[in-house]
Amino acid sequence: MTKRNQRYDHGRVEARWQEVWERTGIYRAEVDWERPKHYALTMLPYPSGDLHIGHWYAMTPSDARARYMRMKGYNVLFPMGFDAFGLPAETAAARANIHPWKWTYSNIERMRRQLRSMGTMFDWEREAVSCTPEYYRWTEWFFSRLYEAGLAYRGEALVNWSPSLQTVLANEQVIDGKDERTGQPVVQRMMEQWFFRITDYAEELLSFSGLDWPEPIKAMQTNWIGRSVGARVRFPVEGADPIEVFTTRPDTLHGATFMVLAPEHPLVEVLTTADQREAVEAYRAGASGRSELQRTDLTRDKHGVFTGGYATNPVTGTDIPVWIADYVLMSYGTGAIMAVPGEDSRDWEFAAKYGLPVVRTVQPPDHFEGNAYEGDGPSINSDFLDGLYIAEAKVAMIDWLEAEGRGEGAIQYRLRDWLISRQRYWGSPIPAVYREDGAVELVPDDALPVELPEDVEFTPTGRSPLVSHEPFLNAVDSEGGPATRETDTMDTFMCSSWYQLRYLSPGYDLAPFDPEEAAYWLPVDTYTGGAEHAVMHLMYTRFFTKALRDMGCFEDTAAAMRAHGRDPEGMFDEPMVMLRNQGQVLGEERRGDRVLVVGRQEEDRLKADSVLVVTDPDAQLEYADGDRLVGEIVSRTEHVLVVQPPDGPDPVTVEIAEGATIEIPTIPGPNSVTQLRHRLDVQRMSKSRGNVVNPDDLVERFGADTVRTYMMFAFEWEKGGPWDSRGMRGAQRFIVDVWRLGKAEYRARSVDDSASAGLRRRAHQAIIKVGQDLESFSWNTAVAELMKLRNSMNDALAARNVTPEVWRETLSILVLLLAPIAPHVTEEVWSRLGNRTSIHLQPWPEPDMEAAADESVTMVVQVNGRVRSRIEVPVGISESAALDLALSHHNVARHVGESEVRRVIDRRPRLLNIVV
């Protein structure tokens, strides 16, 4: 234990204050219409077993922000819960025969304890756990509302079917088309499942107005929705329905020389001729063995099969061949495309491979060398479009299609409806039954929730026990007739699409949420979480909120708002107003320098006389006789290197001799040991690599305050970065110093007015700076500013040259500003200062702008843009005084010399640039 640590017992201090906070309930958030509200939310964790450092990285800065908002006068709600349904629990059940309830609950217990050790201000009375019947009753209830609103329907979608296990596998369980556990093949099979009509909201989801969200997230969602404008065109087929396609280039219709259908397209049956049937069937069978991901792999050769059938190009009247190819997906657009090789390079490739005709319909520029021409130009070979450029030609063609009844202008989205069916046990049941006649019926609301049976057995196949559980399966319909219960359960994204509502009143049993609570707290003001949820979770919850709004689920809430004088207009359009993403804490994999060491063998080490960094990666250097060594620097401590030779031999310890030459070609001049780069072996954190940083150990050793401070100090929060355990010491010293400063018996010795004013200035500047940084999620610079204030206080304590009043004021400011970041030590110091109410109930300090103002500042004097002098000047210095002062400075005078001053760039008081 360190000397500092002997005195600061973080374990005792943190435990005590956590107990006090819990007992006094200072983090309870209650509706108070007299105060402005702030709903801060951080993404809820999946109870996977242990909290990892990433949770700390995500949650403690969010907690600091929530605490800051509270000090700024807001009534802050900051809840926490668990996204508790999901595959891992079921996998554990199948593998170890532990019931998912038990597995999940014991994990939740453990994580609750770990979460409390963070010292967060979570209001635990708001906790919601999505796998409890009290919660999923309402998940089911929402399903029923969506069904009634026509937003839930049954449709077909491909699933990963394992013929050997007779079960459906998740994408992550399938690797290279095989079951990851058994290695058995997996096929793509159509299955009837439940969907939500998120596509009805595609247009609204494209609008982010009023949302303070990161631009990349908005861009990703926009791309995911993938709006394209074009036309639907029908190609007649003899003796069958026409083939409908969507195209963004209706202007090129004259150049459509063939068509391609998805192998699953229903018209394939009709179009395939007898002599092509065998080839088509074989191709379709092959396609079913490929996942969508494989089918759409860019690096794969395009291939397809001719069906033998033809369709008629509606504008030229020509019969064109119809092919099938698996890169055309049934789930996108109409499952069919018109191929225009002249203007589309993919179609060109396909045409070239199979000898299909090409007709150019856009005139390429002179000397155009490429194949397909995708740029703009006048139409050619296109009858009534000839001479028109793309934009006009599109309009003209759509007019023609509509007039002739061959098609119409259309908008197509890449977004597909949300497939919510999961063929699993551990999820929220879908409250539907199938009558004997096959009709679907909802379970009445008063019979909700449909509960998951507990007496189930899990088999290693991973097959949902619900499908064979008779008491669960047997149901009655609304007329008392026999019915079969739906055995699919819901996607867990469904649970997390509305948890922000459940937190408002987790015990409420009249509705999913209490309108009185919702009227005050909604919407979420600040949402934080990982960017990996950029699209799916965040888009589903946006859809959910909009659907709820349109189904009238917020009407009671709106009424309550009006009753309290709050305008409900626009309050239910979006779930989260502000979004910020944290980066990821990971390991860095940096190679060390590759070196050639020459020296002499001494006992267990090589004493080096010269070290040369080898920059050419292809350099062939012989490894080692006794005195020469080539390898990568694995680590370095002072003058001792550990060098790993290539191809396996043990690492060699190299000691750099006094006066040895070190040569690094990329750094000119003589080089020193410290410039050698060694390998950083902190690798990307993952369970499989066994290098996950366990926060419990860190808390035990350093305390939660130190871990929190380090998490906020070490990285740019939105970026993340590699973990470096050594950096923890800086945070630890800082926390202990704060405690020590708080405990110090300050006695002034030789009070100096300017020192007092100087310390006060630093303190009030810190109020401004830290406030700005916390507003903008810049934790690292906020901590840096506080460390600077700590340094100033250290100096003042040593010199004892500030007044006791200033000392005390500065100390109070230091702990108040640090309180959101390190809640325990600041509470400890605060109470030592004689305060009776918690520091976490104090208002954020107001800066005294006069005290914070600089009196003098360093003026940089440049001559022709190069810094020649730095002069301390009063802030309000006049232009002539500044110029005189600058020109009288010897170094400036030297550079100005006899030259004429042509211009002075005046950025007083910080900078003066004299152009000669």
Partner RNA sequence: GCCCGGGUGACGAAAUCGGUAGACGUGGCGGACUUAAACUCCGCUGCCCCUAAGGGGCGUGUGGGUUCGAAUCCCACCCCGGGCACCA
Provide the residue type at 555 as one letter: E
Q: Is 913 in the site for RNA (CB under 7 A)?
A: yes
Q: Where are the beta strands (DSSP E) in 94-143?
A: 128-129
Among 187, 467, 634, 860, binds RNA (CB under 7 A): 860
Run of H or E including 662: strand 652-663
Of 344 and 827, which has the nearer Cβ to RNA? 344
| Other residues' Cβ atoms within 10 Å of the Cβ of residue 305 | 23
> Which member of 211, 352, 358, 915 binds RNA (CB under 7 A)?
915
Query: Any contact of residue 808 with RNA (CB under 7 A)?
Result: no
Binding of RNA at residue 609 (CB under 7 A)? no
CB of 669 to RNA, least distance (A): 3
Q: Does 414 bind RNA (CB under 7 A)?
A: yes
Cis peptide before 909, with omega less than 30 degrees from 0? yes
Give me the least distance between CB of 406 and RNA, in Å please. Answer: 15
Query: How many amino acids of this chain bind RNA (CB under 7 A)?
Result: 112
Nearest residue to 725 via CA among 743, 738, 706: 706
CA atoms of 452 and 439, how far apart (whole Å): 23
Q: Supply the minimum distance, in Å, between the C-beta of residue 385 and RNA.
A: 16
Phi, psi of 856 (to 5 degrees): -130, 160
* DSSP label of 860: E
DSSP code at position 453:
P
Of the pair 522, 731, the CB lying nearest RNA is at 731
φ/ψ of residue 537, rounded to 5: -55, -50
Cβ nearer to RNA, comparing 386 with 588: 588
Beta bridge partners of 475: 483
Residue 181 or 733: which CB sits closer to RNA?
733
Binding of RNA by 305 (CB under 7 A):
no
CA distance 799 to 758: 13
798, 834, 850, 898: which one binds RNA (CB under 7 A): 798
Q: Is 329 in the site for RNA (CB under 7 A)?
A: yes
249 in contact with RNA (CB under 7 A): yes
CB of 487 to RNA, least distance (A): 29
Separation between Cα atoms, residue 710 and residue 821, nearest integer Å = 10
- Cα distance between residue 740 and residue 403, in whole Å: 85
Please report how many Cα atoms fall inside a 13 Å half-sphere around the Cα of residue 805, on the Cβ side: 4
Q: Helix and strand tally (H, E) in the chain? A: 29, 36
- Looking up tokens 């949820």 gives 533
Under the binding rule (CB under 7 A), the answer on residue 713 touching RNA is: yes
> Binding RNA by CB under 7 A: which of 319, 392, 573, 588?
588
Based on the shown chain and the rule CB under 7 A, indicate whether residue 411 belongs to the binding site for RNA.
no
Range in contact with RNA (rule: CB under 7 A) among 98-106, 235-243, 558-566, 717-725: 717-725
606: helix, coil or strand? strand
Distance from C-alpha of 319 to C-alpha of 253, rounded to nearest angstrom = 13
Q: What spatial distance separates the first Cα and last Cα of the chain, rounded to whole Å?
A: 62
Q: Using N-to-C axis directions, what is the helix angle for 779-799 and 804-818, rounded to 10°?
A: 160
> Which residues inside 747-786 make contact with RNA, applying CB under 7 A?
769, 772-773, 776, 778, 780-781, 783-784
- Binding status of residue 730 toward RNA by CB under 7 A: yes
Applying CB under 7 A, among 467, 857, 887, 893 the residue interacting with RNA is 857
Tell whether residue 395 is a contact of RNA (CB under 7 A). no
What is the closest distance, in whole angstroms, from the C-beta atom of residue 142 to RNA in the complex?
26
Note whether 194 binds RNA by CB under 7 A: no
Q: Give, for 237, the enclosing helix (H) or strand (E).
A: strand 227-237
* Local structure of 170: helix, strand or coil: coil
Piece of 29-37, 214-222, 752-760, 826-834 that binds RNA (CB under 7 A): 214-222
Q: List binders of RNA among 221-240 (CB under 7 A).
A: 223-224, 226, 228, 230
Q: What is the DSSP letter of 647?
A: S
Residue 4 binding RNA, by CB under 7 A: yes
**Would you give the binding string for RNA spanning residues 890-909, x where CB under 7 A is met?**
xx---x-------x-x-x--
Q: Which residue has the tokens 């990666």?
A: 617
Q: What angle do CA 382, 388, 392 make, to 5 degrees?
A: 110
Q: Does residue 882 bind RNA (CB under 7 A)?
A: no
Per the rule left: phi > 0, alpha: psi between -120 and 50, beta: everything else, 659 is: left
Q: Which is nearer to RNA, 233 or 501 (CB)?
A: 233
Q: Is 716 in the site for RNA (CB under 7 A)?
A: yes
- 736, burial (CB in 10 Å: exposed 0-12, middle 13-18, buried 19+): buried
To RNA, the closest distance from the beta carbon of 229 in angstroms equals: 9
Nearer to RNA, 652 or 735 (CB): 735
Q: Which stretch binds RNA (CB under 7 A): 97-105, 128-136, 707-715, 756-764?
A: 707-715
Residue 148 is given by DSSP the state H
Q: Which of 76, 787, 822, 886 binds RNA (CB under 7 A)?
A: 787
Cα 839 to the center of its chain, rounded Å: 33
Q: Is the dihedral of CA 696, 699, 705, 710 positive or negative?
A: negative
Q: Taking CB under 7 A as the rule, does residue 869 contact RNA?
A: yes
For residues 663-702, which are near RNA according to CB under 7 A?
667-672, 674-675, 677-678, 680
Q: Which of 527, 572, 715, 844 binds RNA (CB under 7 A)?
A: 715
Q: How far is the CB of 843 from RNA (least distance, A)?
A: 21
Residue with tokens 């009445």: 444
The smaller minimum CB distance to RNA, of residues 457 and 775, is found at: 775
Nearer to RNA, 459 or 683 (CB): 683
Question: How far apart are alpha carbons 373 and 362 in whole angstroms?
Answer: 7
Query: Which CB, 166 or 228, lies closer to RNA?
Result: 228
From 2-10, 66-74, 742-750, 821-829, give the range in contact with RNA by CB under 7 A. 2-10
Is residue 270 near RNA by the rule CB under 7 A?
Answer: no
